[in-house]
Amino acid sequence: MSLVRLGLLLSLLLGSALARAELWGYVDGAGVAHLAGHAVDSNYALILGEPRPGSGRVPGKTDGASSMLTWLEIAPAAKAVQPWLREASRQHGVDIELLTAIIAVESGFDAKVVSPRGAMGLMQITAETADRYATKAEALRPAEQRLMDPRTNIHTGARMLADLNRRFGRIDAALAAWNAGEGTVRKHGGKVPPIPETQAHVHLVLELYWALLQRSLPRQAQQLKMHASLSTNLAADHGR
């Protein structure tokens, strides 16, 4: 299926009766767009419809994401690291949209920024964390030096995020652990703790992640695969 035909089909889907319900989807590593009327598994993100608790979409916060998307389209600093973001996404199995969202919220793509707590670079990683997720080759250099290198910083962050996703099984919990620490999240049952700073961080990252997924889904997809539930809904709709 060509990208043009896929785009037209997605437009038809979005204009159908499904636009009054929900549409969930994701694009897999082979470029296949999977669509369903509900979240079949954790890969699926809400593409169309009203957000529900636990959907990963933050309601009432679209303007900020829209402004950030515009900035990401034109910012030289964001464009410069795209090759390394794509590389890290492929190697570590983390969505490039999620990596982009974290960097935008953490550092605004300033590769040289250091926080008062000592977190460094694009993904704001501490030296201790960098040593934990360093490869043998990377560990030959001091953490402070590695983290000022954008490519190494991104790969370190991608390894960390992949590990947190495996440990907690939820993106929001992984992001909370990134911000507040694994121990804090575990003390609250593996959920986002009631810490305003952490909640704000998670919400901002998820908001931008959602907006980036919305933008990239039709563009990335090379094929389309509809879940049985969505096919049934479409057939019923056309039969009316």
- Alpha-helical (H) ranges within 81-189 are 82-92, 96-106, 127-132, 143-147, 150-168, 171-180, 182-187
Lookup: tokens for 216: 């990239």
Give the pLDDT of residue 159: 97
CA dihedral 172, 105, 166, 87 (to 10 degrees): 150
Q: Mean pLDDT across the chain, nearest whole number? A: 77
Q: How far apart are CA 178 and CA 105, in angstroms?
A: 12
Percent of the chain surpassing pLDDT 70? 64
Mean pLDDT calculated for residue range 214-218: 69
Q: pLDDT for 67-102, tens place per residue?
A: 677 778 788 899 999 999 999 999 999 999 999 999
Q: In the prediction, which pLDDT does 60 show?
A: 35
Residue 190, classed as helix, strand or coil, is: coil
Measured at the alpha carbon of residue 165, what is the angle toward residues 131 and 39, in degrees to the nearest 5?
Answer: 165
What is the distance between the alpha carbons of residues 224 and 4, in angstroms, rounded to a whole number? 12
pLDDT tens by residue, 12-26: 444 443 334 455 666
Predicted pLDDT at 210: 82
The count of C-alpha atoms lying within 13 angstroms of the C-alpha of 21, restricted to the half-sphere facing its C-beta, is 15
Alpha-carbon distance values, 167 to 25, 42, 128, 203 (Å): 24, 14, 19, 20
Q: Which residues lie closer than 8 Å to 142 by C-beta, 6 or more apart? A: none
Identify the pLDDT of residue 13.
45
CA atoms of 128 and 219, how far apart (whole Å): 38
Cα separation, 56 vs 203, whole angstroms: 9
The CB density around residue 142, as the number of other CB atoms within 10 Å, is: 12
Q: What is the pTM of this model?
A: 0.66
- CATH classification of 3-239 is 1.10.530.10, yes or no? yes
Tokens representing 131? 């040593």
Amino acid (1-letter code) at residue 99: L
**Residue 153 pLDDT more than 70?**
yes
Average pLDDT over residues 223-237: 55
pLDDT reported for residue 56: 41
Q: What average pLDDT score do residues 204-224 get?
A: 72
Give me the active site residues, please: 106
Query: What are the residue ranges of helices labelled H in 16-95?
Result: 62-74, 76-80, 82-92
Stronger pLDDT, 178 or 68, i.e. the higher one: 178
Structural tokens at position 107: 């550092």
